[in-house]
Structure 1
Amino acid sequence: MPSPPRTSRLRRGLLAALVAASVAVPVAGAAGPAAVPAPAPAAQAPLRTAAPEALAERYAATRADIRAAERAAAAHGDRRRAAALRAMAQPGRRFLTFDGRDGGRSAEVFGDLAHAERIAVLVPGAGMDFDHYGRLRDGGSALHQELGEGTAVVAWLGYRTPATVSPAALTPGRAAQAAPALRDFVGELRGLRPGANTTLLCHSYGSVVCARAAHGLPVRDIVLYGSPGTGYATAADLRTPATVWAGRGGDDWIGEVPHLRLRLPFTDIGFGTDPVSPAFGARIFEAGDGGHSDYLSRGSVPLKNIAGIVAGPAPAAAPAGERHA
């Protein structure tokens, strides 16, 4: 059956936009968040243990790095970045890693990592950097509150995310760069807490990163939400023993994005199969009727169901392809 006229126009329009974006030359990058200077973080030996005293030492060291980056941002005249970093350096915040350069990299811990039996790693999507970090922190905090004791949530901003509206957000380049860092980070967590069950929670473009990193990764579940696709045709193509979940809110605009993958000589554009479609083969969780940024909102349906996946036993799966309203 042919697509309705509105859908056909949307697909044609987005296809044209994808092709145009793939050959566009970004001109605003120099003025973006990555342009704010920051000193290199102090060299630190790898963590060998999750003992409380070792973690406390690491958290103190990263706090010093954050404060140094705050001073650099203030000297540069960027009050917004300085304020964001000042908030990150507050007592009680706990960062395993921090690097203020190139838009910022960090891994913030919510909960007691030293004794966690379940660990959730949040992998954010496009548009996330230190200037917008509050959204990631709020999600990590809400999820940990929902999970309760015996769990830790780690908000992993371990790569330079693409701008939400940019050629980079339509291609897998940033994900390919980020995947090795995510694999290394999850491997380090596994070494620190070998008995803990680890779950990857992958939002939007972060699902492309997770898919690239999935092969052989020691995690129990991979949860894709608000996903534009993964760059793979099916969940089986991720070559992971983890259970792959997918969910999408009823008012998430990404559901209107055509799931195309164009192979051009210099790059791929788009990410292929819709992860909530039967063709992809993921287990489907109910994601409510919220929008693209609502999955970890306090009290929401997707937050409760994502927490249920992390905690286990997993919530009952909806039939693949069922509309999530």
Structure 2
Amino acid sequence: MTLVSPNRGYLLERIEGDTGTMSWWSGQLTRVHDGLDDLRDAATSATGLPGVGQAVTSVRADAADLLAALAPDMAEAEHLSRVIATYADAYDRYAAPANAMIEEIELAHANWAQADAAADDAGRAALAAAYGTSALAIEATHALATEAIEARDTAAQTLDALWAEYERHHSGWDAAYGAALAALAAGANSTLTPQERSFLESLLASGDPAEVLQVWRAHPELHDELIEAHPEVIGNLDGIPYDVRGDANRSHLEALLAGDLPPDRRDDLEAIMRALNAEGLPRPSLISFDPDGSEQVTAAIAHGDLATASEINSLVPGMNSTVHDLAGWGESARELNASVGPGSATVVWFGYDSPDLLEEPQMGRAVDGAAAFGSYLDGVRALSPDADINVIAHSYGSTTAALAIGSQPDGHGVTAFIAVGSAGFPDDETVMHNLSESRATQVYATISEDDATARIGRATAPGHPVPPEHLPGVTVFDSDGGVSHTGEELPAATGHGALGPGAYLEPGSESFYNVAEIIRTGEPGTERQGEGSTKGFWDATNWWISDEFELIDF
């Protein structure tokens, strides 16, 4: 399993690069520039060629045309040479030291894991001895447990120090890599002026969405040109205002649909367009759209006005979800807005490659998705600092969201995290602490007593076996049928589905009603096992998850 740094979420893997090759290419481009410079000098002289007649006039005209053609090529060669040289220097300064630490961190992590297991065993032995009558055994096992805990803590401190150093190096390289990509993206389009190119580079080199927003607001006179030149960049850059992103992404989508596309890609894009064309106002907005950056086409659609909303909700799907589900999730999003009331806006976030059945037990898709979701949340907070940010995640979507929210002490600014039919939270000490003890984010969870899929998923997933319903501080609410505060009967969730009859997010169901009430008031709307509640095969008398997260069958 690839290790992940605890604070920034960097994968512990080699950063590929060859500074020798980069330096060689930088030198080659410099020589190209110098050769073109010599040709420019000759062309400049030819423009002043003395004499009269058609032949001489033609030479002067050709020389002038050549000068005009040389200018952008020379600028591009110089630009590429500088970008490569700058990145090569940054690679040596940051990436190489990060790479050199990989084996040391792996060893330190193995030592910590061994010490942690030893401390756990020693603690269990001390606990068992405490039930005996031998004072000598109690004292001895207690001493061994104390010693093992101290060894574990020392190993953890050593590992934490190494991770902090690795993250410093990796962060420096990450910024340099982003700046290089920004410079290359700007340089690839000759229509950008030097000022516009510098603006784009500054945006893409920004450290977080708040900085992106600050840079964006500083240059309103350059917005239109940048959107026209790079809609695919501006439409997906967290921190850019959502009305700008929505327009840029819709234009990008329409342009792609107007061209030639493989049948499967056209089907995906047409599914997004159908979701955008849903009836009602305000018009749904495509706030992110990436047709090529990952294995699946990814997108996020906002229903409601994010700029003015006081409650911003995000729906995160689970296993086997695709953009073909956007329309159905959009219906739930609009119903949620109506149930919460004025000031509610809901984003259907399909911004990651969801796992299939074989991938679901692992954490790979969640790790990638959590990085994208965390950036998205930071963007929401930067643009709407006074709004409540609520995350409603289903199945493996809750695993992904838990990793993102729990990776930071401030929960990326999330007010309420609501897990429905969770496939299990990650078995990670930092994530568990931040979700259950730091209390930056209030966590809510429900699982239907007829949801076998979620329970089996947790039991067979080495990376995410933790039932959120058992975490300290989590508010558990029912989805097994109930009665609203107005006396309306609320149907139960009868399986694992997110949408449709008997599903967690079906409008009118107890689960959906409780989600809306949590957003409105901070509390579920029905009592646990209250009037109308039903029992299923998987109820607590037959099947449960112990505090150690082990599956126990009757």
TM-score, normalised by the number of residues in structure 2: 0.45
Counterpart among 460, 464, 477 of residue 285 in structure 1: 477
Distance 1:41-1:89 versus aligned 2 partners, 3 A rule: farther
Counterpart among 295, 300, 303 of residue 110 in structure 1: 303
Matched, 1:272 2:272: no
- Work out whether residues 274 and 280 of structure 1, in 8 Å CA contact, stay in contact via their aligned partners in 2: no
Matched, 1:93 2:93: no
Question: Following the alignment from structure 2 to structure 1, what is the Cα–Cα distance between the partners of residues 427 and 463?
Answer: 11
1:301-316 → structure 2 map (5 Å cutoff): 301-315=510-524
Question: Following the alignment from structure 1 to structure 2, what is the Cα–Cα distance between the partners of residues 309 and 324?
Answer: 22
Matched, 1:211 2:410: no
SS at match of 2:380: helix
Distance 1:313-1:111 versus aligned 2 partners, 3 A rule: same
Counterpart among 244, 251, 263 of residue 64 in structure 1: 251
- Work out whether residues 128 and 161 of structure 1, in 8 Å CA contact, stay in contact via their aligned partners in 2: yes
1:43 alignment counterpart: 233
Q: Per residue, is there more strand in 1 or in 2?
A: 1
2:80 alignment counterpart: none
Matched, 1:201 2:410: no
Greater displacement, 115-124 / 92-101: 92-101
TM-fit CA distance, 1:144: 1.7
Give the total of aligned pairs: 270
TM-fit CA distance, 1:122: 1.2
- Work out whether residues 48 and 192 of structure 1, in 8 Å CA contact, stay in contact via their aligned partners in 2: yes
Distance 1:85-1:107 versus aligned 2 partners, 3 A rule: closer
SS at match of 2:370: helix
2:420 alignment counterpart: 225
TM-fit CA distance, 1:219: 1.1
Distance 1:304-1:224 versus aligned 2 partners, 3 A rule: same
- Structure 1 or 2, whichever has the larger Rg, is 2
TM-fit CA distance, 1:81: 2.7
TM-fit CA distance, 1:113: 1.2
Task: Compare relative contact order (CA 8 Å, sep 6+) and give the higher one, 1 or 2.
Answer: 1
Q: What's the CA shift string for 1:259-298, capped at 9, x where partnerless?
A: 3367xxxxxx35213222x356521012232122211112
Greater displacement, 80-89 / 211-220: 80-89
Counterpart among 347, 362, 372 of residue 181 in structure 1: 372
1:296 alignment counterpart: 505
2:60 alignment counterpart: none
Unaligned runs of 5+ in 2: 1-229, 481-491, 498-502, 536-554
SS at match of 1:75: coil
Letter in 1 for 2:320: G
TM-fit CA distance, 1:212: 0.9
Question: Following the alignment from structure 2 to structure 1, what is the Cα–Cα distance between the partners of residues 232 and 463?
Answer: 38
Question: Following the alignment from structure 2 to structure 1, what is the Cα–Cα distance between the partners of residues 379 and 440?
Answer: 19
1:247 alignment counterpart: 446
Question: Following the alignment from structure 1 to structure 2, what is the Cα–Cα distance between the partners of residues 95 and 82?
Answer: 12
TM-fit CA distance, 1:69: 3.9
For the aligned residues, what is the CA RMSD? 2.9
Unaligned runs of 5+ in 1: 1-39, 263-268
Distance 1:259-1:96 versus aligned 2 partners, 3 A rule: closer
Q: What's the CA shift string for 1:118-171, capped at 9, x where partnerless?
A: 1111111111112333332232222122222111111111111112x22x1111
TM-score, normalised by the number of residues in structure 1: 0.73
Q: What's the CA shift string for 1:209-268, capped at 9, x where partnerless?
A: 111111232111111111121123795453552111110123323254163367xxxxxx
Q: Per residue, is there more helix in 1 or in 2?
A: 2
1:15 alignment counterpart: none
Distance 1:300-1:187 versus aligned 2 partners, 3 A rule: same
Distance 1:82-1:184 versus aligned 2 partners, 3 A rule: closer
Matched, 1:172 2:363: yes
SS at match of 1:60: helix
